[in-house]
């Protein structure tokens, strides 16, 4: 059994690294110059970003198949299920991709533009490279920790960071649930910014009450998966890769 002190040291190192990676993405030059970007160009960025959102479901399905522990699968399934909400009577509501489409329309993008703008070569490359993170380590001893760390950081923690940065401009036209009611309410960007967020350090997740997706996955990393220096190094490595891919995606717009 891993000593408590050793575990704390591992988590401290990972928490420190995560904070620095988050800072790295937040300080991407594109986010700095958002106020001066014209609206049409901003919409173009969001339309490219939508192609990455399509990958979320694929990645979640892929991780469910690749996971060996049922307890972790349950959490991943739960999060995936939220992508396709239903009423309490089981009637399907708008999926998160449909809500994204709706937010884009409310931001002024036309249906034609959203539907016909092609994916750029860079977006395609980033999308493919991101998917590879979840498969290329299949034969490695640390595959399980790698995919959970990657899923949490790439699909939740950094997504919330991206949307928090983009929200500064999105909020000129869309409101949060408690915001300016003269603007249409954001049904996608705002909620993902909130419910995906890292919100607490690894190891400090609340055991009761509503947790974010990042926190739900963090619990498995803390309790089951990060047990040695090697596990930690896998997390550091894959999280850095995920952050670099996000930065490279935004590089194409500057």
Query: Cβ(205)–Cβ(218) under 8 Å?
Result: yes
What's the CA gap between 184 and 92, in Å, rounded?
Answer: 22
Report the nearest approach of Fe ion to the CB of residue 220 (Å). 15
**Residue closer to Fe ion, measured from CB, 76 or 238:** 76
- The count of residues interacting with Fe ion (CB under 5 A) is 3
**Residue closer to Fe ion, measured from CB, 137 or 214:** 214
- With a CB cutoff of 8 Å and minimum separation 6, the contacts of 129 are 245
What's the CA gap between 228 and 154, in Å, rounded?
Answer: 22
Report the nearest approach of Fe ion to the CB of residue 238 (Å). 18
Report the nearest approach of Fe ion to the CB of residue 84 (Å). 13
Residue 234 structure tokens: 């896998």
Query: Cβ(107)–Cβ(101) under 8 Å?
Result: no
Residue 45 structure tokens: 């960025």
Stretch of residues binding Fe ion (CB under 5 A), selected from 60-68, 85-93, 99-107, 151-159: 151-159
What SS3 class is residue 46? helix
What's the CA gap between 195 and 254, in Å, rounded?
Answer: 29
Site string for Fe ion, 121-150 (x = CB under 5 A): ------------------------------
Stretch of residues binding Fe ion (CB under 5 A), selected from 156-164, 171-179, 180-188, 232-240: 156-164
Report the nearest approach of Fe ion to the CB of residue 196 (Å). 4
Query: Cβ(198)–Cβ(242) under 8 Å?
Result: no
CB atoms within 10 A of CB 223: 14
- Which of 198, 213, 241, 246 lies at the binding interface for Fe ion (CB under 5 A)? 213
Stretch of residues binding Fe ion (CB under 5 A), selected from 145-153, 178-186, 212-220, 227-235: 212-220
Buried b (16+ CB within 10 A) or exposed e, 242-252: bbebbbebbee
Report the nearest approach of Fe ion to the CB of residue 181 (Å). 26
**Residue closer to Fe ion, measured from CB, 7 or 213:** 213
**Segment 46-75, which members bind Fe ion (CB under 5 A)?**
none
Report the nearest approach of Fe ion to the CB of residue 151 (Å). 10
Site string for Fe ion, 172-211 (x = CB under 5 A): ------------------------x---------------
86 strand-pairing partners: 92
Report the nearest approach of Fe ion to the CB of residue 205 (Å). 15
Query: Cβ(68)–Cβ(4) under 8 Å?
Result: no
Residues in contact with Fe ion by CB under 5 A are 156, 196, 213
């Amino acid at each position: 059994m891993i000593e408590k002190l050793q575990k704390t040291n591992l988590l401290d190192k990972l928490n420190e690294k995560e904070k620095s990676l988050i800072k790295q993405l937040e300080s991407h030059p594109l986010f700095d110059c958002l106020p001066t970007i014209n609206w049409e160009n901003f919409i173009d960025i969001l339309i490219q970003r939508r192609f990455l959102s399509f990958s979320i479901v694929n990645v979640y399905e892929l991780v469910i198949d690749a996971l060996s522990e049922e307890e972790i699968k349950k959490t991943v399934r739960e999060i995936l299920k939220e992508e396709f909400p239903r009423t309490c009577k089981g009637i399907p509501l708008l999926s998160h991709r449909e809500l994204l489409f709706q937010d884009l329309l409310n931001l002024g993008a036309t249906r034609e533009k959203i539907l016909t703008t092609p994916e750029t070569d860079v977006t395609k490359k980033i999308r493919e490279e991101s998917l590879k993170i979840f498969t290329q380590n299949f034969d490695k001893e640390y595959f399980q920790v790698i995919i959970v760390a990657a899923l949490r950081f790439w699909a939740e923690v950094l997504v919330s960071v991206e949307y928090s940065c983009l929200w500064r401009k999105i909020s000129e036209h869309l409101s949060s649930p408690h915001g300016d009611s003269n603007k249409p309410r954001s049904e996608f960007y705002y909620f993902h910014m909130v419910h995906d967020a890292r919100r607490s350090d690894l190891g400090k997740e609340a055991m009761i009450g509503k947790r974010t997706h990042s926190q739900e996955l963090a619990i498995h990393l803390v309790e089951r998966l990060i047990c040695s220096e090697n596990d930690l190094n896998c997390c550091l490595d894959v999280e850095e890769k995920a952050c670099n891919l996000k930065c490279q995606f935004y590089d194409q717009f500057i």
